[in-house]
Amino acid sequence: MSTSSQTDGAAEAQVAAALARCAGGDRNALRVIYDLEAGRMTGVARRLLRRQDLAEEAVQDTFMRVWRAARTFDPQKGSARTWLYAILRNSALSILRDEGRFTSDEDKQESAPMTESALALLPETSALRRCLERLDAERRAVVVLAYVHGLSHGELAGKLGVPLGTVKSWVRRSLLSLQECMG
């Protein structure tokens, strides 16, 4: 998580402290995390799963997992919010893959406008945005659509109309460029 602003730093500290209390069995601390993050988490899950019912299922599953695993969180290894959202992403992607292909209006959308509207979410100053914008449009699209909308290799190949092998190679090359650009 970006912790550049004071607000982010405060949220991070609050979540980290609440997680430590969860590890000690304090249910109120889980509620603190819910109050701080469940809204954003529902937004992220809805972005991936498109359906409100599935998004809520992912958030519920995430909080159950957080409760059970709170004591395995190690503040030395990374940010508490990053840990929280990693569990959410894992949970949402399992639901997404289990549900298989369910069609929605977004499935019919072209990759270019979908990618652009996802990129537009990011602040102009974001390093991620700047580095993504340096990639060719299609190479940018594969990474953005996989992260933001949870598209699989197969779904990316379908949407972009290219062979699976091409998608895989674009993804790898894009990741390496991003890594180089973002450090």
Partner 1 sequence: MSAPLTDRDDDSALAGEYELGLLEGEAKAQAERRLATDAAFVREVERWRTRFAAFDDATPPLAAPEALWRKIEGGIAGQPAAVASAPSLWSRIWGDLAVMRGAAVGASLAVLVLAIGLGAAIRAANKQPVMVAVLLDGDRAGAVVQAFADGRTVLLPLTSISVPEGKVLEVWTLPSRERGPVSVGLMERARTLTLSLKDLPAPRADQLFEITLEPAGGSPIGRPTGPVLFKGNTALAL
Residues 117-156 that bind partner 1 (CB under 8 A): 118, 121-123, 126-129, 143, 146-148, 150, 152-153
CB of 159 to partner 1, least distance (A): 14
**In the chain, what's the furthest Cα-to-Cα distance?**
51
Q: By CB under 8 A, tell whether 34 contacts partner 1.
A: yes
Comparing CB distances to partner 1, the nearer of 17 and 109 is: 17
Query: Does 54 contact partner 1 by CB under 8 A?
Result: no
Q: Does 109 bind partner 1 (CB under 8 A)?
A: no
Structure tokens at 47: 């972005």
| Part of the chain binding partner 1 (CB under 8 A), chosen from 63-71, 106-114, 157-165 | 63-71
CA dist 118 and 156 (Å) reads 15
Between the alpha carbon of residue 85 and those of residues 40, 103, 133, 154, the distances in Å are: 10, 25, 24, 25
Name 93's Cβ contacts closer than 8 Å, sequence gap at least 6: 48, 150
157 contributes a contact to partner 1 by CB under 8 A: no
- Inter-residue contact 142 to 171 (CB < 8 Å): yes
Question: Is residue 79 a contact point for partner 1 (CB under 8 A)?
Answer: yes
Identity of the residue, 87 or 114, whose beta carbon is nearer to partner 1 in the bound complex: 87
